[in-house]
A = this chain, B = another copy of it.
Amino acid sequence: MEVVVPFAATRPKTRLAGVLDPDERRAFAREMLDDVLAPLTAVRHDGERPHPTVLATAPVDVDVPVTVDQRPLTEAVNAALATHEPTADDPLAVVMSDLPTATVESFETLFAAPGDVVVAPGLGAGTNCLVVRHPEFRVDYHGASYCDHRRAAREVGATVEEVDSRRLATDVDEPGDLTEVLVHGDGPARDWLVDAGFELAVDEGRVGVQRDGVGVDTD
């Protein structure tokens, strides 16, 4: 299966600005990309490994092909869909690059799910992974994209299947999301956080994160 992995190479993860400076955000985003590519390239689906391409806003040094496209996310992904013209026999998957708790098993479940459009929702009404098997389906990542993608699929007569995975639902945008990486990650993004001084912090029964022993505001 062909898989497009969009990656914001220049100014990633602005909502982590309260806890990471711009260089740190770039470094952490890069580790998260590796945390997605490692299980993705290890999956076996229909006896084959997937073929990921990173769709980046600027050149990035990875072991898979890179397409540079400076357009906004929605436009760039829709251009890839228009070029590929996905069908049941030749689907195109779109997997976000900020899912550092994803595993081989979660991607296998995603790729094995039937449906013209398979959606792994993100928390907060987002869309973290898609498998598209219909040539007319297009994306719109702005706002409550999970709801919009269900509607867009209906409008082109495509069936929709939802994949129920916490690991694929966990995209990392805000400081509170770092808790999930520390608890459920086991790759370079988690290692990077630990090296940067982050650890779990338990406060009045709630679990958040702290850095160098100082609590991080995750509210």
Seen from chain A, the residues whose Cβ lies within 8 Å of a Cβ on chain B are 103, 105-106, 109, 121, 123-126, 142-144, 146-147, 164-170, 176, 179-180, 183-184, 200, 202, 205-207, 219
Flag if A183 contacts B146 (CB, 8 Å): yes
Q: How far is the CB of A13 from chain B (nearest CB, A)?
A: 13
Flag if A200 contacts B125 (CB, 8 Å): yes
* 17 CB-based A-B contacts, threshold 8 Å: A105-B164, A109-B164, A121-B166, A121-B183, A123-B123, A124-B176, A124-B180, A125-B200, A125-B207, A126-B207, A142-B205, A143-B207, A144-B183, A144-B202, A164-B165, A166-B168, A219-B219
A124–B174 Cα distance when bound, in Å, is 13
Nearest B residue to A173 via CB reads B206
Partner of A166, one of B105, B123, B143, B147: B123
Flag if B121 contacts A184 (CB, 8 Å): yes
Shortest beta-carbon contacts, A-B, top 10: A166-B169, A143-B202, A125-B207, A166-B166, A125-B183, A144-B207, A124-B207, A164-B165, A164-B167, A164-B166
A165-B165, A169-B166 given; A179·B125 CB < 8 A: yes
Nearest B residue to A122 via CB reads B166
Flag if A106 contacts B164 (CB, 8 Å): yes
Nearest B residue to A205 via CB reads B142
